[in-house]
Structure 1
């Protein structure tokens, strides 16, 4: 475990020379994304942040951005409207960023919520939480990889459930469209495995970029309330049982933001970034080198050694081929 003090000490070293100059936060309008934006801005470093979110979030985000400018007048925060559950919109947002920047140092992906309600599809025919937690995230990465390659210590962080993968994945119905296949833990695990398999492939093919799949532990993001009909029995169970548990055991908003900032900037993962004298993280291939790091809320790494070889052999190729088929029209 990396202690909270060690995290804070590392983050205190972030300055104009070590901070990511250009950062893109997708899902930074609430929860972990928002906590991490605040932590990055509070370093006092000169940074430019693209904050991507839905139009409905624009008004409260304007107030948040003004608050950030008070914290750090050197920061530049650019509100970028986009309904990123739609891949066409994701592509449009990426094109906007690519038209303005020659490099991106840091891509932070948190959009999504627990798929515990009934199955709902976007106008593009994708289940909405899968589009947010997987397809849209991978599309952002694929579009912005050329800009990430131009940075000195580029990192991509996808926050979902890295290290929690199981060997059970539905390869015959990756989008869980068949009756009885979608729902709750089953869907969340499917999307987690798809994240990890694709991120690892991208990490292996792009060794100049560090990839992290983060499991944030218990954090009170409010996402549980978005996952079910507010009048349903499921919603009442969430609110009466799960939310009190989250309140008791969750990391504070500040600690969650600080720990994710540490993951996103420290040389503990991949050897590039803010200098780190502690134990180096081990990637998904059990090496202290570049690649994909499965990092938990304690900032510990796991190669998930019993599960990952099985998924590499049986699932990675099929997930990649299917994902390319879905994403190709938007590349």
Structure 2
């Protein structure tokens, strides 16, 4: 297993390897996603970050703080409700339009939450937590993969419920029969 010291050393060399790369961050408005975005801005000399979140106005103070981390960073914020597949599709088209000649080197997805109550269904009839944690993430990767293939060493990172691995219900991946917080966390893509 990789040690923390190895990770820190590797991150410290990123500015020598990559002067400028483009990354898409979804759900990085707080928590581990936001901290990952901050590290990206610190370790890449001239990063281009496309941040997808629910509310630009509410995130404005944090966005300004992010710009102070790296004066050479190009950061854009796109509003979308990623609990809806139609919004995932719309935002993917917007991202494609904004990166016609540039490739995406990193797709980092951290949108979602652990459902602590009963299921909530969105207006498309899909479980909201499952859409954020699974369906929408797969759709984002599927829709943006062609932009990533243009970049050497492109990566897709999905962050949610780390270190909670357990038995999968292969016959019930939608958790229609086995729905619980812990079972939800287990089925999330790693």
The answer on 1:30 being equivalent to 2:27 is no
What's 2:79 paired with? Answer: 81
TM-score (norm 1): 0.53
What's 2:181 paired with? Answer: 184
Q: What whole-Å deviation, never above 9, does each CA across 1:142-192 have from its counterpart, x for those lacking one?
A: 000100000011000111346754444152x432335xx322212322x32
What's 1:226 paired with? Answer: none
Q: CA deviation at 1:20?
A: 5.9
The answer on 1:2 being equivalent to 2:8 is no
Structure 2: 5+ residue stretches without partners: none
Give the Cα separation in 2 of the matches to 1:44 and 1:184: 36
CA 1:20–1:133 in structure 2 vs 1: closer, same or farther (change >3 Å)?
Answer: farther
TM-score (norm 2): 0.90
Q: Is the 8 A contact 1:104 1:147 kept in 2?
A: yes
Structure 1: 5+ residue stretches without partners: 196-212, 214-331
Say which one has the larger Rg. Answer: 1
Give the alignment's Cα RMSD to 1 decimal: 2.0
Give the Cα separation in 2 of the matches to 1:33 and 1:156: 13
Give the Cα separation in 2 of the matches to 1:167 and 1:5: 31
CA 1:126–1:87 in structure 2 vs 1: closer, same or farther (change >3 Å)?
Answer: same
Give the Cα separation in 1 of the matches to 2:170 and 2:17: 45
What's 1:131 paired with? Answer: 131
The answer on 1:49 being equivalent to 2:49 is yes
